Structure 1
């Protein structure tokens, strides 16, 4: 079987993909991206002046989980449309 060509991930590709989502799915995507942005801003603030709580903002936070002794696994936790949501981000770095 021929290997499928991997699509380059860029803004145009993401927006084209998002246009196929339902309105509630797009809202969840927007809220998740805003939470990631706030976490990044919080991390910058923490690194620059030593203040903050490690990225746990009102908009969202990254949680590291160990499952059955494996991990850590990174999850984005955020609030969207009045509900808490969770998105798996991939395996985290071990300390």
Structure 2
């Protein structure tokens, strides 16, 4: 679908992620701290795309992902949001 080239994008909503996944993007970063009620949607995207990255901001979020194994031996691709003393990110 992409002619052999990787198509990457960063999104802030899962609706955007689905739109771009449906239009040939195969490497998507969902750059919003993972909402626990959206993990199942993230699983679907992670299983159907070549690369789907999620952002977490707590150990609790990491534990939620650890409870859910992806199909076909895939692993979660995880980014950690860190507070660098500027008050923009909080790790609880």
Aligning the two structures, in what range does the TM-score lie when normalised by the shorter sequence?
Answer: under 0.3
TM-score between both structures, scaled by the size of structure 2: 0.28
> Quick one: higher RCO (CA 8 Å, sep 6+), 1 or 2?
2
More strand by share: 1
**Could you say which structure has the larger radius of gyration?**
1
